[in-house]
Amino acid sequence: MSTLDYTKTKVYLRDGLVDFKNANLSIASSPVLYGLAIYTVFNVTWDSKKSHLYIFRLPDHYQRLINSARIMDFDGFIKDWPYEKFKDSMINLLKENQVRENVLVRVSVFIDELTAGTNIHGLKSSLSAYIYPMGEILPATGVNLCVSSWLRTADNSIPSRAKVNGSYINASLMKNEALLNGYDDAIAIDGQGHVAESTVANVFIIRDGRLITPGNSNDILEGITKDTVLQLSKGLGIKVEERAIDRSELYLANEAFLCGSSARITPILSIDRRAIGDGRPGQITKILAKSYKAIQSGNAPAPKGWLLTV
């Protein structure tokens, strides 16, 4: 049970820490009017036995912000926020709030101008970050999904490799449709008819012992948790394929799961009311979930740079 009330925490906004209740943007600002913001979410794990707090893959989350900024031409962030400044700010945020539980930190970079229209280049950008309890955005025991009638936004329309706030209108329409029809979430199909991702996470299926996931050209976010799963799988001797997946292949999977910083590793129990395997979390899924959790919590060796102790 979380003891953290994030509405009473200190948050980072622009140049320093402020109270959550005072961290507001104008109704005439670019992110409010046009969704002109990028973001990332990273995990922070509390080890009560060692009294250690671990940030998971912070350099990679920073690099994803940089990549998103390059794609979106948020040149101010790239100039003004070297990694050391970013790292120190995130550590200070966690220390100031005396975090002693598993949390997520959501960091946004936004065009900080008023009534600037749809302009981007050369405009001021600022950073915000806040902490909130880990919780469950999807049932940890497993989810029942549908294939959405809404297509995944194409990379040539809104870039998939950039984690752009405004692009989540597409995901919200899918999620809304799924919930109204009795599902937990949805899987998106890209414009070529191939599986892309869910509304908030990457998709993996397992067939005949092989772990299969859409490639980065299938209009997906290049997920950090996805990369973690791929590296863990190779270390465990699980065969991995990154390739296009057709909708019908979903129904033939022996196992399937979603993965993401917020979703962690969530088993898929059914898709379009067709059971995946025997309708229960599969063995490979459980092995990967256990390994992922152990590394995040500092209970298993992690590759260099994956864990930052606060």
* pLDDT given for residue 2 in this prediction: 82
Is residue 119 located within the same domain as residue 26? yes
> Is the residue at 306 inside a domain?
no
| CA distances to 43, 142, 163 from 61, in Å | 10, 26, 11
Percent of the chain with pLDDT over 90: 97
> Is the residue at 87 inside a domain?
yes
> Is the residue at 307 inside a domain?
no
Is residue 74 located within the same domain as residue 151? no
Is residue 150 located within the same domain as residue 235? yes
Is residue 71 located within the same domain as residue 23? yes
Convert the pLDDT of each residue in 233-262 to its tens digit: 999 999 999 999 999 999 999 999 999 999
Is residue 95 located within the same domain as residue 204? no
Is residue 291 located within the same domain as residue 147? yes
Contact, 195 vs 250, CB < 8 A?
Answer: yes
Is residue 16 located within the same domain as residue 52? yes
Is residue 181 located within the same domain as residue 73? no
* pLDDT given for residue 275 in this prediction: 98
Could you tell me the CATH number of the domain that includes residue 64?
A: 3.30.470.10
N-terminal to C-terminal alpha carbon distance within the chain: 22
> Is the residue at 310 inside a domain?
no
Overall domain count for the chain: 2
Contact, 291 vs 284, CB < 8 A?
Answer: no
Is residue 76 located within the same domain as residue 148? no
> Is the residue at 256 inside a domain?
yes
Contact, 121 vs 69, CB < 8 A?
Answer: no
pLDDT above 90: residue 3: no
> Is the residue at 12 inside a domain?
yes
Mean per-residue pLDDT of the chain = 96
pLDDT above 80: residue 1: no
Instruction: Please give the average per-residue pLDDT across 254-277, as a whole number.
Output: 97
| Domain carrying residue 106 | 6-133
